[in-house]
Amino acid sequence: MPSAAPSEHRPATDPAAALGQAFRASIAARTGLPDTACDPQIRPSGNPQFGDFQANFAMALAKQLGTNPRQLATDVLAATDLSGLADRAEVAGPGFINIHLSGSALAAALDAMDTSALGVVPQVATHAVTIDLCGVNVAKQMHVGHLRATIIGDTLARVHERLGRKVWRENHLGDWGLPIAMTLAALRRAGTDLGSLTLEHLNAAYRAAQLEGRDDAAGLVAARGTHAGPHRIAELEAQNAGAAMAQEDARTTLVRLQSGDAELVAAWRRLIECTMREVFETAETLGVHLTAEHSRGESYFREELGPTVEAFVKAGLGVEDDGAIVVRYADRERPMLIRKRDGGFLYATTDLAACRFRVQALKSDRVVYVVDARQRDHFKDVFDAVRMIGWHRLPDGTEAQLVHLPFGSVLGADKKPLKTRSGENFTLKALLEEAIERGTREVRARSANPDAPTAGMSDADLAAIGRAVGIAAVKYADLGTDVTRDYVFDLDRMVSFEGDTGPYLQYAHARIAGILGKALDAAAHARPRPRIVVNEPAERQLALALLRYPQVVCDVAEHLEPSRLCAYLHGLATTFNGFYQHCPVLRCEDAEVRASRLRLCAISKHVLKDGLGLLGITAPERM
């Protein structure tokens, strides 16, 4: 998975940061090595009985220095000041250092984390981040492939924004070229009223136009060569003649559109409006921040395509090949075609112009393309060409990171790409409607229990929760998977309130909200805030889990892996359940401990809500 340069500092509330600083100084003093070579390798302990963290530097460093690792660990530990941070630390095995944090250190770190920022420190950056997401084609309905491109991109945008970065969401519309002109020409020939066109009708017209313009010249030659019956030959001749007429009409329409014909441009805009109306409605349903301001299509770059090719030719990178212009690479046989023999341009040409725009005009030092895995070779060619010509370099000399984040397919129960029962691609709209219906059914069934928190709620409120549950089910199942892998779409599992699902996390949040709502003394939430006390093992585990959150947010941004956040939130919810089972909260008789545990509940609720928000998932107060 691609990553940016590692962060210089871990979040200040992370105990690992303080441990790292303390051990780094003593390693440097003991070995004489520069600070950069003294990584103490602080890691969470795999078993709480051996401590909270381990310092694992000794084996690798001792080999480098030609010394005994256990002795090196012993010497470094003796020189390390852990006062106020750890109760004890001991060398184990061949040179591991097990570290047991003090309860007061954990409490102090949690207290520092308990702000609106939750310990997430804004990154210091002078440049923006551009994320290419969604990528719909005009005149075509959104399908399940657009689900992944849209919600993965939106989550990564949210995470970068959470870290204080300026983010450009870029929905690269397929709104230009011969296919669009072919559809427009067919609609005009049919006398269709474009003002009342729906996307469903437009999608059907798009497919019909593609079929209408498809000839079968090879079939006609074969039919004549095998002396097929006159009826079959006449049929193929009629098909080819009709296809030739449709293709010519499309080419004529495209030329008029490119020249700015007012009537055609107005009709073309109606096609875009019809398409985007449903796209924006779907984005709103998904809780994705995507509007017209984020939609910059191929047409936006149409005036830059000629100059783009000319720039490559002038730089000696674009060379003629049988009348076409291609870019060649030293490490692969395939060239990249950027202008056809007839002077037409290609997707690669548009992507070169768009990439240049995103780096130079939008001033982005990181450009992420969330596009399915089948485009891997295409983006390798485009990015390498951009680097060859130097368009990846910003005016201040910063080299932008160009990343293709490839995602896998959404599969049905048969492990094949998800289809409807009729064998057609599932439209995204239909899929979401089914998920919402299933989520609403589950919520209403639970509300029938008189002891349920939702008992007695209005139909409208239950429908709102059901909608949130259905969308959470779909989004979490997608984001919780390694983005590069395929996954099976199984709504029965996804809407479950148990297991590793979005509704489980929503329920965990609502459960904590219920606990806090039952707290009788408002003083537990008043200022000055109650002192945090971390004594019990379950309290320690919850504290350690909460303190990991800021670093997890940084890691998701660095590695572009939303699944890390999903795994963290599920682990936090599970850890909280263990805490609640072993540490009485509302029934705790010690007022100070009760107030502390209520505060731990409040921080847990805040982290769950914030993390779900980064996934674009609503966190209901009642479920």
What CA–CA distance (Å, rounded) separates 484 from 148? Answer: 11
Domain 428-614 has CATH 1.10.730.10: yes
What amino acid occupies position 159? V
pLDDT > 50? residue 107: yes
Span 195-202, average pLDDT: 84
Comparing 521 with 173, the larger pLDDT belongs to: 173
The listed range with the strongest mean pLDDT (130-139, 252-261, 502-511) is: 502-511
User: Structure pTM?
Assistant: 0.89
pLDDT at res. 5: 36
Question: Mean pLDDT lowest for which of 273-287, 311-325, 409-423, 470-484?
Answer: 409-423
Span 52-71, average pLDDT: 95
pLDDT at res. 400: 98
DSSP character string of 166-215: -EEEEB--B--SHHHHHHHHHHHHTT--GGG--HHHHHHHHHHHHHHT--
pLDDT at res. 247: 79
Which pLDDT band holds residue 217 (cuts at 50, 70, 90)?
low
What CA–CA distance (Å, rounded) separates 264 from 247? Answer: 17
Please provide the CATH number assigned to the domain covering 128-174+289-407. 3.40.50.620
Span 251-261, average pLDDT: 85
pLDDT above 70 coverage of the chain, percent = 90
The rounded mean pLDDT for the chain is: 90
Comparing 488 with 238, the larger pLDDT belongs to: 488
Residue 521: partners with Cβ closer than 8 Å, 6 or more residues away: 595
Express each pLDDT in 294-349 by its tens digit.
999 999 999 999 999 999 999 999 999 999 999 999 999 999 999 999 888 999 99
pLDDT > 90? residue 213: no
What CA–CA distance (Å, rounded) separates 385 from 390? Answer: 8
Which pLDDT band holds residue 7 (cuts at 50, 70, 90)?
very low
Express each pLDDT in 462-502 by its tens digit.
999 999 999 999 999 999 999 999 998 888 889 898 999 99
Span 426-450, average pLDDT: 93
pLDDT at res. 181: 87
Name the CA radius of gyration of the chain, rounded: 30
How remote is the C-alpha of 513 from its chain's centroid? 28
DSSP character string of 234-281: HHHHHHHHHHHHHHHHHHHHHHHHHTT-HHHHHHHHHHHHHHHHHHHH
Which pLDDT band holds residue 424 (cuts at 50, 70, 90)?
low
The listed range with the strongest mean pLDDT (48-57, 193-202, 607-616) is: 607-616
pLDDT at res. 522: 47
pLDDT > 90? residue 406: yes
pLDDT at res. 566: 98
Express each pLDDT in 372-384 by its tens digit.
999 999 999 999 9
DSSP H or E stretch at residue 58: helix 58-65
pLDDT > 90? residue 209: no
pLDDT at res. 159: 98
Which pLDDT band holds residue 233 (cuts at 50, 70, 90)?
low
Span 134-161, average pLDDT: 93
pLDDT > 80? residue 425: no
Please provide the CATH number assigned to the domain covering 15-101. 3.30.1360.70
pLDDT > 80? residue 237: no
Express each pLDDT in 331-345 by its tens digit.
999 999 999 998 889
pLDDT at res. 144: 84
Alpha carbons within 13 angstroms on the beta-carbon side of residue 563 total 13
pLDDT at res. 220: 53
Tokens of 319: 């060379």
Span 101-119, average pLDDT: 95
Beta bridge partners of 324: 321
- The domain locations on the chain are 15-101, 128-174+289-407, 178-259, 428-614
pLDDT at res. 4: 42
Return the sign of the alpha-carbon dihedral for residues 134, 139, 142, 145. Answer: negative
Span 233-261, average pLDDT: 74
